[in-house]
Every structure is written in C-alpha cells, then in structure tokens.
Structure 1
Amino acid sequence: MTETALAAPAYAPHRRTFDYGKLVNGFFWLTVASGSVVFVEPSPYDILILVTVLLWSVRGFTIHRAILPFVLFLSLWTFGGFVSLIPYWNEADPVGFMYHTLFISTTGLFYALFLTAQTSRRAELLLSAYAVSCVLASAIAVTTWLSAFDGSGEWIKDGRAMAPFKDPNVLGSYMVTGALYLIQRLLLGRFRLWWLVVPSIMLILAALFLSFSRGSWGAMVVSTVMIVAFLIKTADTRRMRLRVVAGAAGVVFVVFVGLMGALSVPDVRDFFFERAHAEQDYDSGPNGRFGNQERSIPMLLDLPNGFGPLRFRDTFGLEPHNSYINAFASNGWLGG
C-alpha cells in the first residue's frame, strides 16, 4: 500500500459536540419564564431553580469580589432572621417563613454569581424570559378579570386582578420590569418582532392597570421617566435622542388612549378613582397601615431581635407593608 493511500483524508466531516453551557442557559431561561406561575406550591419555578442551580454548579464557578458585599449583607440579613426566630421554633408559620427566606436568599446568591459571567448574554436571557413570564401572567390576569368583573372569581380579589399570583399588589409590581424591558427595546429601535412586542406591552400594562395597585402604578410611571431620561443622556447621537423622545411620546399616547377607553366603562372608572386616592380607609388612623408603622418604630428600638418572623401582624393585626420596617420587625437590628 502506498504512502498516499495511508494519508488522512484532506477533509473530515465536522462532528457536533454537546454544548453544556447552552443546556444551563436553557434551563435558566425556562426557570425565569416560569416565575409568575405561583398559585401552586411548590411552584414550577421552585423545582426548576433547583435543577438549574445543580446543573450550573456541577462544573464549578468563580466568586467575583464585586459581589462579596452583597453576599455579606444578604447573609447577615438571613442570619438575623434565624436569631429572631429562636423563641418561635415551635410555631409553623414563622419557621416556614424563615426557611422560605433562606431559599430565596440562596437563589439570590445564585443569580448574582451566575450573572457575573457572560453578563450581557445572560442578562438578556433573564430579561427576555422575565418578559415572557409577564405576558403569561397578564394573559391569565386579564382573562380571569374580564370573566369575573364582579369579584366573585377565585383569582379576583375585591374586584382587582391578581392571577396567577395570590395578591393584586404582587401582580402589579411583577409587571413593571417586564413592561420596562419591552418599552426599552422599542425606544432603542430594536424593531425585530415588533408585531409581537407591541401587543405584549399593551397586555402587560392592562394587567398592571387591572391590579389597581397604587404603588405599582407609581413605580411604573417613575421607572419609565427614569429609563427615558437615562436613554436620552447616554444616546450617542442626536438622531438616537430624537428616536427615544418620539418613541416615548408614542408610548404615552397609546397608554393615554387605552386608559381613556378603560375609564369609559362606569364601573371601572368609579373603582379607578376610588383606588387612586393617596390614602385609603385602612391606611389612616392610629390603627391603620401608616399608624401601625409609626407606632412600631419606638417599640422596635427597644427590641434588638424585633418582634420575630411574621410577628408584626400578630401585634398590629396587619402586615407592615414596608420593607424596611419589616426587616427590623422580622430580622431584628442585625437584619434591619
């Protein structure tokens, strides 16, 4: 046999190799996209996040020094909660609350570590999946609200949409980031799939409106103003600035038209103006939400361990409705 015959062929077919990174990113995307389906426990998100963390950690990871302060303060906050839990270990609700807090803290640490590598790509994965979860939640919320406007539906609370969450305020707050991401895409001129993006924005804003959450409405307005201001400030060209301004004006016009259309329905209009008041009946008075917050501060100053996890409502009959007061009340001075 000649030497030529023994030589390797000039062309060898390319053999596909398994991309483990794509598998991890795929599970990550699916996990975030399932984040709005929480009316069952454990939720799909609870299961998928565990699978995603396991797949991601198998091949090792690095801890960037930039996230060390976050890790430190998150650990202190969680540890403070368990210290405050000590007198209530025999109560199921506080114990469950703190184990849930530990779970959320752990997943928060995962997100911080995960996004320190391939940050731009993974941030886009996260936000696109989050937007999908918002579209899914808003479709359920709007559909269930329209089918049970009288508030008799299981997924309606006092005439306010809340599905697939357990509280209208959570639904409203969840919608904000998804709407901002899609609005930003349009303002930056990313018109790919615009025919899908525009209806998605309208659906998400409809769910946000039907949650009748004053805090969520305010967060949406303030965040939109901020993102438009930042885009104008960081635009490279005058043409881009004009595009952002024109796009923002278009969004405002569409929202205005949609709002006027919704308010043309008498029942919706009456309920909207009722909810739009800066202060509701349950807010005012010494035993109202704000009164409870004010009365709790002197008490918490004398309690290094706070009231204990979930104990604020046992003391005042209502949840604190304030993240900072809740931190001191549930996690003590250390957590606060």
Structure 2
Amino acid sequence: MTTKAQSFAMRQMAISSLGASPDRDCFIHVPLVRRSTVHSLALALVWVTLATSGLVVAEPAPVDLLLMGLVVLLPLIGLATITPGIAGYLGLWLAIAGAGFFASIFAADAGRAALHTGVSLYLSLASAVLAGFVIRSPETHTRLILDGYLTAALVATTAAIVGYFDIVAGTAELFTKFGRAAGTFKDPNVFGAFLVAPVIYCLHLIITRPLHRAALPILAATILTLGVLVSFSRGAWINLALAVCVYGCLAILTAGTRAARCRIAGLAGSVILIGATVAFMAMQIDKVADLVEARATLSQSYDVGPEGRFGGQQKALRLVAENPLGIGAQDFAQSYHHEEVHNVYLGMALNAGWLGGGLFLILNALTLVVGFTAITSNSHASRRPLLIVAYAAFAATAFEGIIIDSDHWRHLYIEMALVWGLAHAAGGGETSSGVYRAHAVGREILHP
C-alpha cells in the first residue's frame, strides 16, 4: 500500500518531470493531468486559435471565442503555470481594467464604455494565461504559438494580395478597404501591423537554419513584406523597420562568437535587401507608387488642422489634464472629436484616468525592462533567440502606439504574453521538450 509520504514524493517527481518546481516556480498550483489525448487536443486548439487570429472581419471574431475557451481550459488541465511574476503582470492589467470601469461612469454611453473595458479585460486574462502556457514548456510552446500566428499571417496576406491586385475577379471588394489591402481584417492598419511579428519570426528561422533549409522562410518573409507594403499603413511600415532593427541589433549583440555575429549580420542584410527589392518592384506598379507617395506624407487633410489627427491629440491632452478620473472608453470620439485619439497612451489616460493610463505606460515600460533583462541573462540563453523575436515585435508595436490606438490589438497581447512567459520561465533548457509533443502540431516549414 502506498503511504502518504510515498504519494507526496511521487507527486513531487511528477511535477518536476513537467518542468516546474512546486515550491519555487508555481504561485498557483494547477492540477496535474496525465499526458493524454486531452493535452494533445489542447495543444492543437492553441495552434488553431493562433491560426485563426487573422480572421477578424467581424467582432467577436472566431479567435475571441477560442481564446475564451483557452483561458478556462489551459489552467484546468495543467498546461499553464502562473508564477508570481505573471500574477503581478495580470494584477497590473486588472488594476487598469478597474480604473477603466470606474471611468465608464462619466461616459456619455456608460454601457458602451464598460463593454470596451470588458474586452480589454478579457484580452489581458488571455495574455496572462498564454504567458503561463509558455512557462510550462518555453521553447516548444512558444514555437507552437508562433507557428499558428505565422499561418494566420500567411493566410491573411494571401487574401490581401489576391484582392489588392484583383488576381481573382471580385475579391478586391472582399479584401481591400479604401484602396488599401486589408486581407481578412476590417482595418488595413491592423492588418499591416499584424504581419510584423511573423516577419521577424521568419528572419529568426532564416538566421538559425542551415542555408539549404532557409528557402521557405525567405519566401514567407517576402510574401509578408509585400503584405505590409500594400497595406499602405505608415504605422506598419515604421513598425516593421523598427522591429527588424531591434531584432538585428539584439541578435548580433548576444551572439556568442564573432563568426556568429558576422553570419547574422550578413543574413539579416540579405533579407533586408530582398525586402527592399520586393518594395522596389511593387513600386513599378503605378497604383502602388501613387498611393505610397500619398501615404508617405504627414500633411494630408486628416492629419493636420484642428479636426485632424494632431488636432485631436491636442484636444485629448487638454481633456486628460482636466479629467484625472478619465472620461470613459470611446467617449472621446463620441463627444469631443470625430475619431479616436490615435495614440494608445493618451487614449488609455482618457479611458481609465491618470491611474489607468499611468499603469498602462508602466506596464509597457516594465515589459521592455523585463524582456531586455532576460535577454541579457545567461540563465535564458537557450530560449534567448525566441525571446528576441517576441521582444523586437513588442517594442515596435509599443512604439507604434504613439500614432495609433492599439489597446484592442490581439497580437499586442500575444507579444506581451511571449515576453513575460519566456522571461519568467525557470532558468535552464526546455522543460521536458518531449512531454506534450507540441512539435507534431506545427509544420516543417516553421521549425529550424
């Protein structure tokens, strides 16, 4: 008969085999479930959720329903580990949401403001659970997430290119907005920004793979870069350029040898050259060149003047100063200006007051600090390349927030989840890389 001591020892060994220390790593002790069909199906569901994340023609989108399911499922079956760091991350989001709900009282349409804040709350919960999922098996689960994300980006970009160039008659109406490629998104700006992280992931695959296996990631990166271009989103262009720079600098900075640094620099330069060539070739098409020229200036009618983008931001600054408790989400466009503020940091200060806006700014800054600290730590060396991918994508998205409202961009929360999850995973190598067989869910194109 098994004694209590033996039973406890067996449980400790089982937890350790899953890559967690019950005394040190786990803040919330999730229930243990045998490695089974349930885990395999859950991993497949994670991949499907990310693979459908680019289908956002209406809201709630399919990915929202799937993410809500994952928020419940992953902790329930033991595929999410909530450490004190992730609990703190979630706590900041909960405080921001609380400030947002309070500010809803002052909105002209309190129900609408509360609903907007509720969506933000759901996204933050999903982000925390995904971070816990990453902690459970850092490299394997991160690859699974990025594989699904890349699949979604390729599907959305294929639709965008087919529609923009009217390759299939009638698709232009479906996959373009305002003469700009939108793919399977409602907004070309969100579509363009959504593609940045997968481009960086492809760059990572190109750099880390042998040259003879880099052809497919190069092709994928080329397609995605063309998608960013024909989105004609100035923010997405800046986002991509900054993300590539951050990724390249960090990859070179953390490379172990001079030869590795030279290889990374050479391959990154080659990829940038390919991207520039794609852009140059696309610019030979008149309608592309004309719209690029028009979009490249900041002196268009919707940018300047008291009713333009910058005039709206000046109004927002005054309102923030006058309303320390906020005015409620979406009230700015409804009561003060004809559109939203186009600055997520000002927007959050309006939506959730000085407290919520300040905490949101702190959370973004803290994500950058936490990620950079982990990147430069030797204890994270094995997962550093993937962390650099997530960090570069997040840093660029956070910067783009200066010129756009990104608080409901699903990929922002995914990027933050990856940074926090990888940064707070225990030091050392992959936690039982064969435990869940997540590699079986992804396709060969996506794995170095």
TM above 0.5:
yes
Q: Distance in 2 between matches of 1:154 and 1:19?
A: 39
Residue equivalent to 1:316 = 337
The structure 2 residue matched to 1:93, chosen from 109, 112, 118, is 112
Counterpart Cα distance in 2 of 1:165 and 1:75: 28
Contact 1:172 1:207 in 2 (8 A): yes
Identity %: 27
Contact in 2 for aligned 1:151/1:159 (Cα 8 Å): no
- Report the count of equivalent residues: 321
Which residue does the alignment assign to 2:217? 197
> Which residue number in structure 2 is paired with residue 10 of structure 1?
none
Selected match of 2:129 from 110, 121, 130: 110
Q: How does 1:1-336 map to 2 (within 5 A)?
A: 18-60=36-78, 62-88=81-107, 92-147=111-166, 153-189=173-209, 194-314=214-334, 315-336=336-357
Are the counterparts in 1 of residues 193 and 236 from structure 2 also a CA contact under 8 Å? yes
Moved more, 89-98 or 179-188: 89-98
Give the deviation of 1:304 after TM superposition: 2.3
Aligned partners of 2:234 and 2:50: how far apart in 1? 26
AA in 1 matched with 2:228: L
Paired amino acid for 1:220: L
Q: Which digits, 9 at most, give the CA deviation of each residue in 1:30-79, with x for residues without a partner?
A: 11111111113332212222332333122355421122331221011111
Distance 1:143 1:305, change over 3 A: same
> Counterpart of 1:12?
none
**Mean Cα deviation higher: 207-216 or 147-156:** 147-156
Asked if the contact 1:94/1:310 (under 8 Å) is kept, the reply is: yes
TM, length-normalised to structure 2: 0.67
Deviations 1:220-271 (CA, angstroms, capped at 9, x unpaired): 1111011111111111222222211221121122112211111111221111
The CA distance in 2 between the partners of 1:88 and 1:141, in whole Å, is 37
Structure with higher RCO (Cα < 8 A, 6+ apart): 2
Alignment check: 8 A CA contact 2:100 2:352 kept: yes
Rate the CA distance shift 1:191–1:137 in 2: closer, same or farther, 3 A.
farther
User: Which amino acid is 2:48 matched to?
Assistant: L
C-alpha change, 1:267 and 1:143, in structure 2 (3 Å) is same
Distance 2:47 2:260 in 1: 30
Query: Do the aligned partners of residues 78 and 69 (structure 1) sit closer, same or farther apart at CA in structure 2, a change above 3 Å counting?
Result: same
* Secondary structure of the corresponding residue to residue 316 of structure 1: coil
Structure 2 CA distance for partners of 1:96 and 1:22, relative to 1, 3 Å: same
Structure 2: which 5+ residue stretches go unaligned? Answer: 1-33, 358-448
In structure 1, C-alpha distance between the alignment counterparts of 2:278 and 2:57, rounded to whole Å: 29
Task: Indicate the structure (1 or 2) with the bigger Cα radius of gyration.
Answer: 1
Q: Is the 8 A contact 2:192 2:236 kept in 1?
A: yes
TM-score scaled to structure 1, two decimals? 0.88
Contact 1:188 1:243 survives alignment (8 Å):
no
* Mapped partners of 1:253, 1:159: distance in 2: 27
Further displaced range: 311-320 or 293-302: 293-302
User: How big is the shift at 1:298?
Assistant: 2.4
Q: Structure 2: which amino acid aligns with 1:274?
A: A
State the Cα RMSD in Å. Answer: 2.4
SS at match of 2:195: helix
Contact 1:151 1:160 in 2 (8 A): no
1:17: how far off? 7.1
Instruction: Tell me by how many angstroms 1:115 deviates.
Output: 1.9
1:183–1:282 Cα change, 3 Å: same
Relative to structure 2, which stretch is displaced further, 278-287 or 246-255? Answer: 278-287
CA gap 1:266/1:55 in 2 versus in 1, 3 angstroms: same
SS in 2 for 1:116: helix
Q: Which residue identity lines up with residue 124 of structure 2 in the other structure?
A: S
Letter in 1 for 2:161: V
Q: Which shifted more, 150-159 or 318-327? A: 150-159
Give the direction of change, closer, same or farther, for the CA distance of 1:190–1:333 in structure 2 (3 Å limit): farther
